[in-house]
Structure 1
């Protein structure tokens, strides 16, 4: 007898994005893999989200809908979804993004118990144009800790792995997914990629995204830096602080570029500095 395939839980968190949420749910329902459950966590939406979810639940038995009565934030919503999930595996989906039909099937085929998680390449959509974002073939903690979320915003892993790592950190104001992947890689030393785009990340509509507030992004990135700076040598600390400060000040001073920018990025940073100066001169002339 063929053993039963494991249940995978798709975790979708949402807040006042009803016009986009249906598209995300439809993309999860279109997956070639089964069995799959969809867990939607509504972080106290005030729009028509509850009505839309009522319609989905009347039509599909594999959907759970949880609602926070007060706003608790993205991390708390993700944690609620993971706690409620019945699947052996969990995979996240932002409410304005889409899974391509074979995402779960192909990611689960790559997963091994020794891995922290599996991720994939993806498309970024902006004004109806798609551009491919490629990711490294493998990730280690040492590579990720350099400060760049090379895995993207969503992965597939065992539900128990996230619970063992104490879930997403609600104290962070940004970079919550990056912080989670780092902690998973502390537990298990390797993550692997599916070398094809399996998701569309929508960069067109930024409504409700934390990244629209530079101060929040800066605060979140600095919090993650402080949590992980024990892994950095002196030069890497300088490099990370340089890029974190650029969130608030995209065009740093020439002194800061020359003394803090990574050597491998110095030429690019100097070009950006010159461009910024030219723009400033044109605006004041």
Structure 2
């Protein structure tokens, strides 16, 4: 009789264990063991900051830390982030005593991060509720993947989705990273990637994200793109990419040429040729014909027919005068 009671007791315990196990799996319990560090650098971003932070705090994936790095804002930003930190223990704040610009703000945030997965977002962009969960699912299930990214929708200042082609970047396949910054704003990567490649470089302010992807790609990190679209990228007229559009183009041209000089041998001929032709495009938008012709010559050294890949308006510009 005692043996039966023992069997019954442990049978009941086993049932309890398997039931809890099932519920945790169904509700994403095991996924929630992976801490995600989300860095949000901000400089005078009070206008849209609450929308961005609220979208993070509303995530269905709840095991994250939000590290807001205030890069010495002079508007209402400090008060806003202090209030969020007071209300939600997942919010951590770091204040720069002087403006150090975006690359250093990112490094400040990630150097303080404790998560196994890293990402960052801007003070004017918005996550949809399942955004982080979808990205975590990929990295948990795909141990061979170092970085996952997905699609995004472009919104205007009022938050309405608009159709607009970005002249600098668009979401593309991983093999196109040497050509343009195609990862976008919706991504997640393993924390080890950050430490392996050495973080963000102040030298490449305005193109720090592309330079980080290039470093990671050239180091052999595996990128994968999903079809998910859980991110709203704001086409904000006061953003750096808009107010410093020409300087961004100049930096893109400089970065691409330096990367090709150092790493062209790692790429296929087609990718290298297309990267040089993209530089022709940067030169076209800068109206720097000398640079455009030089980049075209480099493309034609790889493929004599490179000229046929260019858009008619760029061809016409090259042939003028």
**Superposition deviation, residue 81 in structure 1:** 0.6
Answer yes or no: is the 8 Å Cα contact 1:106–1:194 preserved in 2.
Answer: no
Superposed CA deviations along residues 127-177 of structure 1, whole A, max 9, x for unmatched, are: 5233498844x513xx311x2112113420111211111001111132211
Gaps in structure 2 of 5+ consecutive residues: 1-20, 25-29, 298-305
Q: 1:115 aligns with which of 133, 145, 148?
A: 145
State the partner residue of 2:61: 33
SS of alignment partner, residue 280 of structure 2 = helix
Instruction: Say yes or no: does 1:161 pair with 2:193.
Output: yes
Range 161-170 or range 126-135, more displaced: 126-135
- 1:185/1:237 Cα in 2 relative to 1: closer, same or farther (>3 Å)? closer
- 1:106/1:238 Cα in 2 relative to 1: closer, same or farther (>3 Å)? closer
> 1:184-203 alignment to 2 at 5 Å?
184-203=216-235
**Bigger proportion of residues as strand:** 1
Q: 1:65 aligns with which of 90, 93, 102?
A: 93
Superposed CA deviations along residues 3-51 of structure 1, whole A, max 9, x for unmatched, are: 5611101111110011211111000001110211111011110011111
Q: 2:114 aligns with which of 59, 76, 86?
A: 86
State the partner residue of 1:264: 309
CA distance in 2, matches of 1:226, 1:153: 23
CA distance in 2, matches of 1:227, 1:41: 30
- Say how many residue pairs are matched: 266
CA distance in 2, matches of 1:213, 1:135: 21
CA distance in 2, matches of 1:178, 1:33: 27
Answer yes or no: is the 8 Å Cα contact 2:185–2:231 preserved in 1.
Answer: no
**Superposition deviation, residue 211 in structure 1:** 4.1
Answer yes or no: is the 8 Å Cα contact 1:15–1:208 preserved in 2.
Answer: no
Q: 1:10 aligns with which of 38, 58, 61?
A: 38
TM-score, normalising length: structure 1: 0.82
Higher relative contact order (CA 8 A, sep 6+): 1
SS of alignment partner, residue 65 of structure 2 = strand
State the partner residue of 2:51: 23
> 1:205-244 alignment to 2 at 5 Å?
205-229=236-260, 230-232=262-264, 235-236=273-274, 238-244=276-282
CA distance in 1, matches of 2:185, 2:284: 21
**The structure with more radius of gyration:** 2
SS of alignment partner, residue 66 of structure 1 = strand
TM-score, normalising length: structure 2: 0.74
CA distance in 1, matches of 2:76, 2:199: 29
CA distance in 2, matches of 1:237, 1:36: 37
Gaps in structure 1 of 5+ consecutive residues: 278-285
**Superposition deviation, residue 55 in structure 1:** 1.1
What is the Cα-based RMSD across aligned positions, in Å? 2.9
Answer yes or no: is the 8 Å Cα contact 1:114–1:188 preserved in 2.
Answer: no
Instruction: Say yes or no: does 1:144 pair with 2:177.
Output: yes
**Superposition deviation, residue 190 in structure 1:** 2.6
Answer yes or no: is the 8 Å Cα contact 2:68–2:93 preserved in 1.
Answer: yes
**Superposition deviation, residue 226 in structure 1:** 3.8
SS of alignment partner, residue 202 of structure 2 = coil
Answer yes or no: is the 8 Å Cα contact 1:31–1:101 preserved in 2.
Answer: yes
Superposed CA deviations along residues 202-229 of structure 1, whole A, max 9, x for unmatched, are: 00x2314144224421342133124311
